[in-house]
């Protein structure tokens, strides 16, 4: 098991480190101490500029929607430089509290303002979460909403029991309600884990089945396509039973009577609402079809058919194809500098006329949506993590290409 940082987290660490090296030298920290201030507006503005104020704010409210592990990476850099910035309360605890317990109106009002750095938040923790004696937990408290649910089920059970069995029924019904209040959260967690496991299992099965059907679209499966699929097996580190299962799925897709549209619909239904997982599924098909380094018109038409079956647009397909051509650094290719820049804009999903702010916002949104840890929580198999990391590197490469071109044009 690898306990190191992922490439995206290393990139986040380096970005924050460079930002603080430029804006928070030791003299800046000393001046804040001398002035009796715990906050530097200069440092806070710099952190807001690279999106850290919205690190834990959900994407729907203008933030990056990243994880607590990402926040720990940022906190490490802030601690290393003794940065005078209220990160924990403002950028971690407040967004989490609002996301988990805030009303829709509160979230809509406050979360976007936290993301932009327009407000500063503090968190007051009232009451004891738990008491400890050494390593032994003596007492813990349920969340407010769990308590409300449990009380509701107790009263509901008791009321139904009273109507059906008098006072004895009230006691029995209340006890049943108490048991449900304790079991229901556990059942919900098990259901969520089961759903993730189902998507993970279906992802590889459907991926290679559809890949087999698409490889045979021209009437035969070429040796080049077989080598490309074997290379994917190696890239995904499939061995033993997993490799044999992937081969069986591929052969199932090649067989006569295989229903391509039904298979795509089956995966789309299992991963309903997980658009980025649908994109990863399509990315795998592109990787196999483009074994010769390019997408032919007939192959593009077949990919578009699969994309539409997943509910994806042609624009999203073009962005994935642009990564392959080298717009996001996926391949060296022979594309000209101008066409590579056009592909970079397709990868990010903005027009060349987009402002710097719009470009940065689109880039941050893509990085947040495609974060490997977030995708794993939605059902991406662990074997696919390398490809997810490759995609985030491609997105960063595309953004860097555009930034470099814009700086050169402005010089």
Average pLDDT by stretches of 10, the chain with 411 residues: 69 84 79 71 80 84 84 84 80 83 84 81 50 39 56 68 70 72 61 58 82 74 76 77 86 84 86 81 80 69 87 86 64 59 88 89 84 73 76 87 88 76
Supply the DSSP symbol for 138: E
Query: Looking at 83, 116, 149, which one is the last position of a domain?
Result: 116
The verdict on residue 132 lying in a domain is no
Query: Looking at 67, 100, 116, which one is the last position of a domain?
Result: 116
Backbone angles phi, psi at 72, to 5 degrees: -65, -40
Predicted pLDDT of residue 36: 67
Predicted pLDDT of residue 181: 65
108 and 212, same domain (yes or no): no
Q: Which residue has the tokens 């990402």?
A: 70
222 and 348, same domain (yes or no): yes
285 and 388, same domain (yes or no): yes
The verdict on residue 360 lying in a domain is yes
The verdict on residue 179 lying in a domain is no
- CA torsion 183-187-190-196 (nearest 10°) is -150
The domain in which residue 348 lies consists of 194-410
Q: For residue 70, what is the domain's CATH number?
A: 1.10.540.10
Q: Which pTM was predicted? A: 0.52
Predicted pLDDT of residue 89: 78
Residues 6+ apart with CB under 8 A from 265: 309
The verdict on residue 143 lying in a domain is no
The verdict on residue 53 lying in a domain is yes
Predicted pLDDT of residue 183: 66
The b/e string for 35-72 (b: 16+ C-beta within 10 A; e otherwise) is eeeeebeebbebbbebbbbbbbbbbebbbbbbbeebbe
């Amino acid at each position: 098991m690898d306990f190191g940082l992922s490439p995206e987290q290393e990139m986040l660490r380096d970005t924050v480190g460079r930002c603080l090296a430029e804006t928070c030298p030791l003299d800046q920290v000393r001046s804040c101490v001398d002035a009796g201030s715990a906050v530097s507006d200069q440092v806070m503005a710099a952190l807001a500029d690279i999106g850290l104020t919205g690190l834990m704010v959900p994407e729907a409210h203008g933030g990056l929607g990243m994880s607590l592990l990402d926040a720990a990476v940022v906190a490490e850099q802030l601690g290393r430089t003794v940065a005078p910035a209220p990160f924990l309360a403002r950028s971690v605890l407040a967004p989490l509290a609002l996301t988990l317990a805030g009303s829709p109106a509160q979230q809509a009002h406050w979360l976007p303002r936290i993301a932009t750095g327009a407000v500063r938040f503090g968190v007051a923790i009232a009451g004891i979460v738990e008491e400890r004696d050494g390593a032994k937990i003596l007492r813990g408290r349920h969340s407010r909403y769990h308590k409300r649910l449990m009380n509701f089920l107790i009263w509901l059970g008791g009321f139904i029991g009273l109507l059906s069995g008098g006072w004895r029924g009230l006691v029995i019904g209340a006890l049943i309600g108490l048991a449900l209040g304790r079991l229901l959260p556990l059942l919900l967690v098990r259901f969520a884990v089961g759903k993730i496991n189902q998507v993970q299992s279906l992802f590889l099965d459907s991926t290679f089945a559809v890949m087999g059907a698409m490889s045979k679209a021209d009437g035969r499966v070429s040796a080049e396509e077989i080598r490309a699929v074997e290379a994917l097996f190696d890239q995904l580190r499939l061995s033993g039973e997993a490799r044999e299962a992937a081969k069986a799925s591929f052969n199932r897709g090649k067989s006569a009577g295989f229903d391509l549209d039904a298979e795509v619909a089956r995966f789309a239904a299992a991963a309903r609402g997980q658009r980025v997982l649908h994109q990863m599924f399509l990315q795998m098909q592109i990787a196999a079809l483009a074994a010769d380094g390019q997408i032919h018109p007939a192959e593009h038409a077949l990919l578009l058919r699969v994309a539409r079956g997943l509910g994806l647009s042609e624009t999203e397909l073009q962005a994935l194809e642009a990564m392959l051509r080298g717009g996001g650094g996926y391949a060296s290719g022979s594309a000209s500098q101008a066409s590579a820049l056009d592909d970079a804009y397709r990868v990010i999903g903005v027009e060349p006329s987009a402002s710097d702010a719009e470009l940065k916002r689109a880039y941050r949104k893509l990085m947040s949506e495609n974060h490997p840890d977030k995708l794993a929580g939605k059902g991406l198999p662990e074997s696919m993590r390398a490809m997810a990391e490759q995609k985030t590197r491609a997105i960063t490469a595309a953004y860097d290409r555009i930034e470099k071109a814009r700086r050169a044009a402005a010089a």
